[in-house]
Amino acid sequence: MTKLNAGDAMPETTLVGPDGPVQLRDRIGKPLVVYFYPKDETYGCTKEACSFRDQYEDFIAAGAEVIGISRDDAESHRKFRENHRLPFTLLSDPRGEVAERWGVRAPLGIPGRSTFVFDKAGVVRHRFDANLRFGKHVDEALAIVKSLV
Residues acting as catalytic residues: 45
CA distance 44 to 133: 9
Phi, psi of 78 (to 5 degrees): -60, -50
For 6, 43, 115, the CA distances from 10, given in Å and listed in that order, are: 10, 29, 13
Q: Would you give the DSSP letter of residue 95?
A: T
Q: Nearest to residue 45, comparing CAs of 126, 127, 94, 111?
A: 111
